[in-house]
Each structure stands twice: as structure tokens, then as C-alpha cells.
Amino acid sequence: MAVRIMKPAAYKQEQQLDYGTEAQHDAVKQIVAAVAEQGDEALRQYTKQFDRMEIRDFRVEETVIQAAYSDVDKVFLEALRRAADRIRSFHEKQKRLSWHDSQPDGSMLGQLIRPLKRVGLYVPGGTAAYPSSVLMNVIPAQVAGVKEIALATPPSTAGEPGINPYILVAAAELGIQEIYRVGGAQAIAAMAYGTESIPAVDKICGPGNIYVALAKRYVYGKVDIDSIAGPSDITVLADEHADPSYVAADLLSQAEHDALAQAVLVTASPKLAEQVQQEIERQLESLPRKEIAARSLADNGAIIVADSLDECVDTVNRIAPEHLELLVEEPFALLGRIENAGAIFLGPYSSEPVGDYYAGPNHILPTGGTARYASPLNVDDFLKKTSLIYYSKAALAEAGPDIMTLARGEGLEGHARAIAIRLEKEGM
């Protein structure tokens, strides 16, 4: 299996936000409607159908959460704690406070910034379990001050009874107790509409596969959602100074997530293109998730050979990757020209998994070209803002005529009169 080498003009990005086949859209629509109508009964049926498990109680019992510690490696736990500290301190810097400004005329304007009351966080777990996504989801919500955090993740045969112990321990480390063993579109629908065992939330965040991503789009409006973090993608912009084995390894690191993942190299060096193509084939051989990675590379992977560095940059901006690696001699010199990317990894030692697990920035990033307008999951996703307006009598006297003019300009006499009645009654 050789990744296709092509010119920029020949590259058509497969995984845009409107991805998904008609059959997948139809399936998700049906799942969401069934869960909204039938609640837990539909959850049980879809869990049996898609996860091949019979689940009686979706909520994970507290004793099961505590017992999970005995199934988890101590070294893993220590690394997880160090990662959590770094992620928390990064997100602490994103905190925002309410503010108000008092005016000389006695009026006051301001903005209340308050946490959402109840959020539902999705942690993927179909072909691999992601305790790192527990940290990336929960920590910004906690930093924002959200009090009620519910977590949903697919049931798994890796743990007893029916849940992955690494996910449970990651959640327990952060003090999360409300965990449900349910995945896919049905989990998203359950958190949006509520079922007998899962109370509805105000907002759903978190990454997942195509079914999860589509379901989030369908429930938007009933609840809020974060940006769409679907199947992972990576673009590496590399020049002739890059080590082809590093480039290949980093592309494979994302291709192994999902057959729908997208790994792309953009370079102006035909020599590097060929070296990377060979390296990918060599490294793929021994990769445990080689089938998934091979399908991802065959269906969505590409090695794009541009004529110049400028054309490389244009191509990257068109792709708007979730992860962008700048494996060039002077990465910081290129930075100012990158317009669209969820996260940018600079230089040979900032391999993408550094960000997936450890550095501190969030790994829940806009995928499929949505980095054109969307941002990484962050503390703001868990906050809502309320405007405050207090006008003094003097302020209204001053502004009243302008307000009435603007209202009448829109043909809204009722608006104008709400001001006029005060000005007249109080002789302003």
C-alpha cells in the first residue's frame, strides 16, 4: 500500500464537516429520534446492536469506579497525574472574570460570566479507549466552574462490568462520579433529550467517530455543542531538512485512530516525498493497528508535492488541519503565514502525541477543515455570558432622543414610546 503522491491541485479533501454518507446520516437521524422517544429501551437496543453488549444499568456504580484502580498500572496513573497537572495549568490561563464599568453619569454596564450548570462529555471508546480525552474534556469544564459533569463512553469488554478501567480511573482522579456506559449517536441523543437513567444536559462536548459527530450536529439547538471533533487529521508541512522517519511516524500516529482519519504530507521536496512514502510502508508493517492505519492512508492519506514553500503554505491553509506540524528548518518564520489550524506543532521535537497527551493544550480540536472557523475545546466552551445594563436617569435623558430616532427609523413606535413615556413623565 503506497500513499498517493499528487500535486496540490489534485488533492481533494475527503473529510469536510459535511462528511458522512447518506446512509450514516439516515442511521444517526433514526437513532436520535428513537432515543428521544423511547429513552433507555432504545439505548439498550442500540448498545446491543452496535456494541454487542447487553447493559442493564447505564450508570456506573461508585464501587465499580473505585475498584478500577486495582486494574490500572501505577506507572500509568503517575503519568496521567502529571499530564492532568499540565493540562489544568494551561487551562487556568484561559479563565475569564465578570466585569462592570461605572460611568460618570451613574450608569453601569457589564458582563456576567458564569459556568454552565450541567454538561455532558463524550469520551470515545469504540476501537480504543481514551482516558486522555477524559482529562481534555473534564479539566476545562472544572476550571470554568461547572458543577454537574456527566460522562458517557461506550461499554467495553476490556473491563468488568462493561467499562474500561483506565477511563474510570481518569474520571475518578478528577472527582467525576457520574459516568454512563453508552456510546455512539445513542449516547449523544440520551444526553441531549434525557432518558430514565440519564438526565438531560445543557451542552455536549467531546470528540468521537462519524456517528458521534453527526449526532452532535443533529441535537444542536436542543443543547449546545462544542466544535465538531470527529475523526482525527494531521498535516505535516516538511522541507528537505526533515527526517523522513519522523514525518512517517507522525502521520501514522493519527492514521491509526480511525479508517476515516486523514494524514497528509505537504512538501516542496520530491525527494522527501518518496522517502516518506517508503518509510510509511516500512513502519506500517509492525504497527499493531495496521489495518486501520492502512485503510486511513489508502482512502484519505496523501503526499502533496508543491512547487514552492509558498504553495505548501497555501495548501495547508486550504486544508485547515486539526493538527499541523511544521517540520521545516525555520518553523517560527512560517508561523505568521498559517491562517487555519487547530494546533500547530513547531520543530522536530514537538511530535503530535506530545499535544495528544501531555503538553497542556487541549487535544479536542476542530477536525475536517473546521479549523477555518473553530477553536480547540477551551474554558469558554463551558461559560455563558449575560450582559448587564443599568441606566441612570441622567443617562436616559441624554440617550433618549437617539434611541427614539433609531426606533422610529425601524418603524417600531412601541419601542420609541417606552422611552418617551419616561422622558415626558419625569420632565427629562
Ligand X SMILES: NC(=O)c1ccc[n+]([C@@H]2O[C@H](COP(=O)([O-])OP(=O)(O)OC[C@H]3O[C@@H](n4cnc5c(N)ncnc54)[C@H](O)[C@@H]3O)[C@@H](O)[C@H]2O)c1
Ligand Y SMILES: N[C@H](CO)Cc1c[nH]c[nH+]1
- Give the residue numbers annotated as catalytic, written as ranges: 322-323
Residue 164 touches ligand Y, criterion: CB under 6 A? no
Given a contact cutoff of 8 angstroms between Cβ atoms, the answer to whether 8 and 304 are in contact is: yes
In degrees and rounded to multiples of 5, residue 121 shows phi and psi of -115, 130
247 binds, among ligand Y, ligand X, Zn ion, none (CB under 5 to 8 A by kind): none
Nearer to ligand Y, 321 or 348 (CB): 321
Minimum CB distance to ligand X, residue 28 (Å): 7
Nearer to ligand Y, 123 or 242 (CB): 123
Minimum CB distance to ligand X, residue 279 (Å): 22
Given a contact cutoff of 8 angstroms between Cβ atoms, the answer to whether 250 and 237 are in contact is: no
Residue 362 touches ligand Y, criterion: CB under 6 A? no
Given a contact cutoff of 8 angstroms between Cβ atoms, the answer to whether 396 and 428 are in contact is: yes
Nearer to ligand X, 43 or 149 (CB): 43
- Give kind and range of the element (H or E) at residue 179: strand 178-181
Minimum CB distance to ligand Y, residue 253 (Å): 8
Residue 130 touches ligand Y, criterion: CB under 6 A? yes
Minimum CB distance to ligand Y, residue 404 (Å): 53
Q: Known binder of ligand: residue 24?
A: no
Pairing relationship of beta strands 5-6 and 224-225 according to DSSP bridges: unpaired
Task: Classify each residue of 168-197 as buried b or exposed e, where b means 16 or more C-beta atoms within 10 Å of its C-beta.
Answer: bbbbbbbebebbbbbbbbbbbbbbbbbbee
Amino acid identity at 104: P
Pick from 15, 133, 137, 253 the residue near ligand X by CB under 6 A: 133
**Between residue 365 and residue 384, which ones bind ligand X under the rule CB under 6 A?**
365, 367
CA distances from 134 to 174, 239, 380 (A): 9, 35, 18
Give ∠ CA 330-332-333 in degrees, rounded to 5. 70
Cα–Cα distance measured from residue 189 to residue 192, given in angstroms and rounded to the nearest whole number = 5
Residue 356 touches Zn ion, criterion: CB under 5 A? yes
Nearer to ligand Y, 239 or 258 (CB): 258
Residue 356 touches ligand Y, criterion: CB under 6 A? yes
Minimum CB distance to Zn ion, residue 356 (Å): 4
Nearer to ligand Y, 173 or 398 (CB): 173
Cα–Cα distance measured from residue 322 to residue 42, given in angstroms and rounded to the nearest whole number = 33
Cα–Cα distance measured from residue 66 to residue 90, given in angstroms and rounded to the nearest whole number = 28
Residue 279 touches ligand X, criterion: CB under 6 A? no
Residue 250 touches Zn ion, criterion: CB under 5 A? no
Residues that bind ligand X (CB under 6 A): 27, 50-51, 124-128, 130, 133, 154, 183-185, 207-209, 211-212, 229, 231-232, 257-258, 261, 363-365, 367
Residues that bind ligand Y (CB under 6 A): 130, 132-133, 232, 254, 322, 356, 363, 365
